[in-house]
A and B are shown apart, each in its own frame.
Chain A
Amino acid sequence: MLAYNFNWDVIWRQWPTIIEALLLGIGLAVASLAIGCIIGILCAFGRVSRHKWLDWAIWSYVEFIRNTPLLLLIFFVYFGLPQMGIRAFDKIESFILTLSLYAGAYMCEVFRAGLASIPNQYVEAAKAIGLRPWQRQLYVVLPVMFRITLPSISNTLISLFKDTSLAAAIAVPELTFTARQINANTFRVMEAWLTASALYLATSYAIAWVLRLVERRYSVIR
């Protein structure tokens, strides 16, 4: 029936490379999410601040990023910046920069929604015991917002992890890149893609599972 004979030897031979590639992808996703979270928090606070121009500037950033295919953004940072005379980043740094900006736009929206859903009463209670503005943000608003937004953060992390596959386009040796390399070398396309997707799926599940534990640990808000 199936006119195809599977041969997994090529996969086993490349196994260490594949795992390395997987870890690189996870690393890229986590680094970008971390930076993206910081960008997102700053932008979210910027958007709820009273400065009209700041709100507008951040809104433009978010809309631009969210409405442009990631692949094109990657090309711009990697190819476009050097042509404009900015040669500061290597390929991995460029990719993290792009993905961070991308994540930042999404996290900005996530956190903005989180901020909007924090009942004003908590802030008032914090005022009432005499906390200063930055103490209110630090001890009350941020912790509550993080707990509210945990599910969205874990969704974003999973999709960022899958988006690392686009790094292959600028020669970053992550999982998709490695799978393609195996394809090119051996033409074992089926084996390579099956392996890659199983690893993607397993990792996504693992991320979701870990974050669900974190969520359960911190879900003190009902």
Chain B
Amino acid sequence: MAERTFWTELWNAKWALLNGIAITTELSAYVVVASTILGLLGGLVLVYGWRPAALLVRLYVDVMRGIPVLVLILFWYYGLALFKINIPAFWAGVIALAGFATAHMSEIVRGAIQSVPAGQSEAAKAIGLRFWQRLRYVILPQATRRVLPPWVNTAVEMVKATTLLSIIGVVELLLATQQTIARNYMVIQFYLAATLLYFVLNFAISRLGALLERRFAYMRY
């Protein structure tokens, strides 16, 4: 048997790890996109919504933020199954993480909208713009700039949180790494490799956010 070095093991595990990266990326993409859309709605309801609806969203946001993500994952995977609704682990994970991230995104959107000075909305009213027009042309473009930094943070958090899906057997990057480690017990080396891969993925997101932020830098008060 050829000598087992880190590099031969890495070569052996290349497809497993690449597949892990693909799953992690796909999961993160679904979660970020879904939570951005839902968070936008949630944020709008929090700021402008009908009182009872706003209270419901607030309750949702607070509860979600107080529960460990792991429990949310178990709930969506097994909790629903108790009622005979069986969703695959991957989608249970997407729903759990997106539900959690939506709470954060709603808060972020609310904060951003409220940070736009009241005078802006009044000036928009004064020239006769309707509610949706004010939102579309005046409020949201300005809120976008405030949203970006915390949005990037949440996106990065979600990429990191996909690691928790290993518990329900989604073979994302961490579980793929652990499977490799279970075979060769090169613990530190492979965790380092995984760290590097996560870092690259997240750093790319951070840079993208910084790039967008710079594009909006002309908006000053």
Contacts and interface: CB of A to CB of B under 8 A. Distances in A.
Establish whether A and B are touching in the complex (CB under 8 Å): yes
Interface in B39-74: 62-63, 65-71, 74
12 contacts: A67-B198, A67-B202, A69-B174, A76-B191, A83-B188, A196-B68, A197-B67, A200-B68, A203-B66, A204-B66, A205-B66, A208-B66
B66 A69 contact: no
Interface in B156-170: 156, 160, 163
Interface size class of A (residues with CB under 8 A): 20 to 34
Contacts of A165: 68, 70
B127 interface: no
A80 interface: yes
B105 to A, nearest CB: 14
Interface of A: 1-4, 63-64, 66-72, 75-76, 79-80, 83, 158, 162, 165, 176, 193, 196-197, 200-205, 208
Interface string B27-41: 000000000000000
Contact of B206 (A67, A80, A204): A67
B203 A69 contact: no
Identify the 6 closest CB pairs spanning chains A and B, nearest first: A204-B66, A67-B202, A201-B66, A197-B71, A69-B160, A72-B195
B187 interface: yes
A200 B67 CA distance: 6
Contacts of B126: none
B188 A79 contact: yes
Given A66-B202, A203-B66, 10 more contacts: A4-B82, A68-B160, A68-B202, A70-B160, A72-B195, A75-B187, A76-B191, A83-B188, A162-B68, A205-B66
Contacts, number: 74
Contacts of B192: 76
B92 interface: no
B139 interface: no
B187 A79 contact: yes
A176 B174 contact: no
Contacts of A63: 203, 206
B98 interface: no
Contact of B63 (A3, A75, A83, A201): A201
A64 to B, nearest CB: 7
Contacts of A66: 153, 156, 202, 206
B199 A67 contact: yes
Contact of B68 (A3, A67, A71, A197): A197
B194 interface: yes
